[in-house]
Structure 1
Amino acid sequence: MLRQRLAADPKVVIFTRYVDTMNYLAEQIGRDKRYANTTALTIHGGLNERQRREVFLKFERAKVGVLVATDAISEGINLQHAAAQVIHYELPWNPNRLEQRNGRVDRFGQRKPVVYVRTMVMDETLDATILKVLVEKAAQIRQDYGFSPPYFGDETSILDLLEQHEVTLGPKQLSFEDWRSGVDKTTTEPTEDPFAEETLERIKGDSFYGQTHISLPEIERRLEETAATVGSPEQIQRFLFSGLNRFGCSVAENADGSWRILITNPALQTASVGQVIERATFDPEWALDDPDVTLLDVGHPLVRRLVEEVKQDAFREKGNHKGCPYGRTAYVVTPDVDEVTALFHLLARYVVNTEPTSIVEELLPVAVPVYGGEWSVLDGQHTSLTGEEVRRLLEVQSSAETRTGSEVQEVLTDALGMRGLERLLNDAVEARRRELIAERCSMRQQMEQREGTRTAEWLQGIDDLLPGSFDLLTVTVYYPG
């Protein structure tokens, strides 16, 4: 099977339950002359994050590669850019585990049109019979309800379940009692029957299961808005370069357009990154095509660490760096604005009257011209920019011009001292609350139209939002220039 799969596609991931089996398989592949040009690698729970990354890079770089792994990587590790084939060396009796393993390669971002999955099961054994029963039941439930049930975590619970449903394993199989004699029963907790009608109805009522046919374009729109607020690759690059310079680190451009980053400040060093990133990019497509290039995005450990250090630095008395004494502030000089503008980032909180009560947090940008015309500080007329104007402000290109610390401090003092600023910020928070209520009402109505008057329990109170509180996180001054 392995030779056939490698002939079709030169990358394969093999999952096994046991470290001994993992080592055995990798050793046999390495010894077999038929796999002389194949790189066999192993990964398991005993490796730290940096060691795992090194293994992944070797696997991505290999022309022909086999990655033998335990279930330590079946959750939270994504391999869709490196492989499109999975082999399960033995059957995990928890079908959810199969899905988690498959999900390492069969997920968004997979470039191959087809993902191949092979599960090795001994014919005419207990494994094969149990697998057949579970697959048939899950398929029937998916047909009836539109989703598959949650499964169970160990062999004993599966046998308990099959016994409860009076499933016959056949004369060639071990009896339940014979099989149980070899099982280490460490728990006496009852196993919930995932096939019971009351269980399935509860799942359908308490979650999105069974609602997958509903199209929610508002969710896609909000995701796009979040990405714009968090930052584009260009904005992340500007932040990272500025922050690295602030903390005494160096950045140099390589001949191919990638960046070499030397992390000399111990506060920014992490075990998974080290002191040097030889080739880095902010372009996701480039990183997908070249495994030797490190993608620097909001999830990268260096970016996360820099964000935390900048936040902490903002609260240190008088700061450790030259510049404006105000914490959590910045300025941008850009030809894309006509007047001095202050951008306030708020963290707004709302109370949702669901059962139990929940809290929603929103990152809310509010921009206000500091001087000029009807928005003058003197006459107290202040009007915030529209949502579209704020989005354009977040995307402006900065120029090479600078301002002195005293100049920035003066504008910040005026901006934070504007008459009616607190009312303006409260109005923005309230406007966002009304938008959230409208969005959630629309979502609830769509679901009620499809499901009738019987609304899922999790929807009750979802559009009942009360104002909570808000914090002012940052202030950025935009200068024309």
Structure 2
Amino acid sequence: RLGLLHGGLSVDEREQLRLAFQAEPSEHPMRVLLATDAASEGIDLQNHCHRLVNYDIPFNPNKLEQRIGRIDRYGQRRSPEIRHFVGSGWSGSVDSFEADLEFLSRVVKKVAQMKADLGSVNAVLSDRVQRRMLGERIDLGPDDLDVGPGGSVAAGGTVPVAENVREQVRRLRANLDDTVRELGITPAAVRRVVGTALSLARQQALTPYVDEKEHAEGLFTVPTLTGSWQRASAGLTEKLRREDLPPGTPPRQRPITFDPAMAKDRDDVVLAHLGHRLVDMSTRLLRGAVSNADVGLHRVTAVRSDDPRCEEVLIGAFSRFVLVGADGVRLHEEVLYAGGWAPATGRFRRLENLTVLGDLVGTALAAGRPVSGETRERLVERWPAVRPGVLSALEWRTRTRQESLTRLLGQRRAAEENRITTILDQFAATLRGAIEDPENDEDALFSRFEIARSREELAQYRKDRQAWQDRLDRLDQERRRELDVIAQRYRDPRQHQFPVAVVLVVPAAEEAR
């Protein structure tokens, strides 16, 4: 089935064409899209398409690359196949029209090569093409493009050599994975945040998603939300209007998942990531609830654990830790946790292995099995004896964390000082270069443009040059002032701590007593 996309369509009509073309072949029959350059920018077409045919070749290779980028982008599972038309006998022709086609065909190959190399030579290619179309005889030979270090492309030394993008991506991916592990951003944790927030907001709870096709663990149906929470439902309904349904049938609501792996390569599932409105509203509500006693957030919970490592009651205490600079700027903020074992008899023992502590508490919270009323009463009676030990563990954790942040804050301070110094040095070099440039000399400037040296023009010219010099003279003082502000900010940061929650993990044996 053929779809037609052109500039005369409305925004909704274009979106329906895109959704149909991106849908699974079993969901929609549209498999061929004939489009003008209205489809050359800002549209994803890579889900089930890897072939593109250029009926015409634009003079500007930038536009050609934009076309190719509709299917040659993240999520493409096959190597894109790009084809274009040329005149018969083009390879040996010297006719003007045939030569143009031959030239443009080589441009196509160059663009494909530069995309493969992750380089950028658009400026050079655009200049060559435009000059060729204006009648100049331009040869585009293999020496015009040089492959630089790391497989990047440089053109005649005029375009900066791209860095090794793959290595940059690998490092960024490693940093992202480390951050996710450090902050505990797991699908179960994000789901728990949303579930708690919906309960606090007096909304209905998420329910497991079930339909006639599948019942997958990890898919959830968002209930009908009320009040301001209705905004969190935006984007959940199926956007593609299905032709097999009767007219007027409301669009189907898509399930959500908190696991990126489950949403990969699927249009019928919505990933509730950290930036999704439902998750964002939930985290905002819980953040406010932490410091607002009027919100009905329970700050103490007791859950049962079947983990064999948990032989005694384990207590995990959480606090909000904030470092503020001398000028009131927040330098660091995180939620710290500490805790230890609270046996039925004997003293509280601090657990210094925070990885084990976090794993035990997190696993127990994910299971979400509350203890019985009798067990809660026993824990309440035991709390006064263990409270000093829990507070001591939190103080120890705060102290060690503040010590470990010394190096991090030092690096951040050095980075800010270096940024200020670099910016002002570059600005000073620009001003100095403009002042010392012979082209800006009074005699050379007025002589070159044959401008009469009227009194007003000379006065304005000298005023401008004096303004440059005055600004240059003030830069040293401005640099010292900015560096003093940074030094004062990091000189003696003040730490603040606010209680968040206490979690008691009860082993099965304790629950059975």
Indicate how the Cα distance of structure 1 residues 296 and 421 shifts in structure 2: closer, same or farther if over 3 A, else same: closer
Query: 2 CA distance for matches of 1:169 and 1:422?
Result: 68
Per-residue displacement from partner, 1:423-452 (whole Å, max 9, x unpaired)? 333124236669999xxxxxxxxxxxxxxx
Gaps of 5+ in 2: 91-96, 141-153, 238-250, 414-485, 507-513
Query: Take 2:102 and 2:136, find their aligned partners in 1: how far apart are those partners?
Result: 13
Q: 1:399 Cα deviation (Å)? A: 2.8
Aligned residue identity for 1:62: H
Q: Is structure 2 residue 33 aligned with structure 1 residue 62?
A: no
> Is 1:224–2:177 an aligned residue pair?
yes
> Which residue of structure 2 aligns with residue 265 of structure 1?
226
* SS at 1:249 equivalent: coil
1:251 aligns with 2:251: no
Write the deviation string for residues 322-368 of structure 1: whole angstroms up to 9, x where unpaired.
Answer: 234xxxx7857352565211345768899xxxxxxxx9x98866431
Letter in 2 for 1:295: L
Inter-CA distance 310–295: structure 2 relative to 1 (3 Å threshold): same
Q: How many residues align?
A: 365
1:140 and 1:118 mapped to 2: Cα distance? Answer: 14
1:340 aligns with 315
Residue identity opposite 1:151 in structure 2: N
> What whole-Å deviation, never above 9, does each CA across 1:143-196 have from its counterpart, x for those lacking one?
9xx6522535998x77666689965499xxxxxxxxxxxxxxxxxxxxxxx945
Give the residue type in structure 2 aligned to 1:83.
C
Contact conserved, 1:92 with 1:98, CA < 8 A, in 2?
Answer: yes
TM-score, length-scaled by structure 2: 0.51
| RMSD (Å), alpha carbons | 5.9
Please state how far the C-alpha of 1:308 moved relative to its aligned partner: 3.7
More helix by share: 2
Kindly indicate whether residue 7 of structure 2 is the aligned counterpart of residue 19 of structure 1. yes
- Sort the Cα spacing of 1:162 and 1:210 in 2 relative to 1 into closer, same or farther, 3 A: farther
Residues 148/413 of structure 1: CA separation in 2 closer, same or farther (3 Å cut)? same
What residue number does 2:438 align with?
A: none
Q: 1:246-271 CA deviation, whole Å, 9 max, x = no partner?
A: 33134333254343222322323334
Q: Does the residue aligned with 1:292 lie in a helix, a strand or coil?
A: coil
Q: CA deviation at 1:480?
A: 0.8
Deviations 1:372-400 (Å, cap 9, x if unpaired)? 69xx999xx97854457646755553332
Which has the larger displacement, 235-244 or 122-131? 122-131
Q: Is residue 164 of structure 2 the alignment partner of residue 211 of structure 1? A: yes
Contact between 1:260 and 1:280, CA under 8 Å: does it hold in 2? yes
Identity %: 18
Alignment of 1:190-339 (within 5 A): 195-197=155-157, 199-200=158-159, 203-204=160-161, 209-212=162-165, 214=167, 219-228=172-181, 229=183, 231-247=185-201, 248-253=203-208, 254-255=210-211, 256-257=214-215, 258-270=219-231, 271-273=234-236, 277-284=253-260, 286-288=262-264, 291-311=267-287, 318-319=293-294, 321-324=295-298, 333=303, 335=305, 339=314
Equivalent residue number for residue 451 of structure 1: none
Give the greater-gyration-radius structure (CA): 2
Rate the CA distance shift 1:142–1:303 in 2: closer, same or farther, 3 A.
Answer: closer
Q: SS where residue 269 of structure 1 aligns?
A: helix
Q: Shift in Å at residue 62 of structure 1?
A: 1.1
1:50-449 to 2 correspondences below 5 Å: 61-66=27-32, 78-88=44-54, 90-91=56-57, 93-111=59-77, 113-119=78-84, 124=97, 128=101, 131-132=104-105, 134-135=107-108, 147-149=118-120, 151=122, 167-168=137-138, 195-197=155-157, 199-200=158-159, 203-204=160-161, 209-212=162-165, 214=167, 219-228=172-181, 229=183, 231-247=185-201, 248-253=203-208, 254-255=210-211, 256-257=214-215, 258-270=219-231, 271-273=234-236, 277-284=253-260, 286-288=262-264, 291-311=267-287, 318-319=293-294, 321-324=295-298, 333=303, 335=305, 339-344=314-319, 366-369=336-339, 385-386=353-354, 390=358, 394=362, 397-401=366-370, 415=391, 418-419=394-395, 422-430=398-406
TM-score by structure 1 length?
A: 0.53
Query: CA–CA distance in 1 between the matches of 2:351 and 2:33?
Result: 59
- What is the match of residue 483 of structure 2? none
Q: Is the 8 A contact 1:262 1:276 kept in 2?
A: no
User: What is the SS of the residue equivalent to 2:82?
Assistant: strand
d(CA) in 1 for partners of 2:42 and 2:389?
46
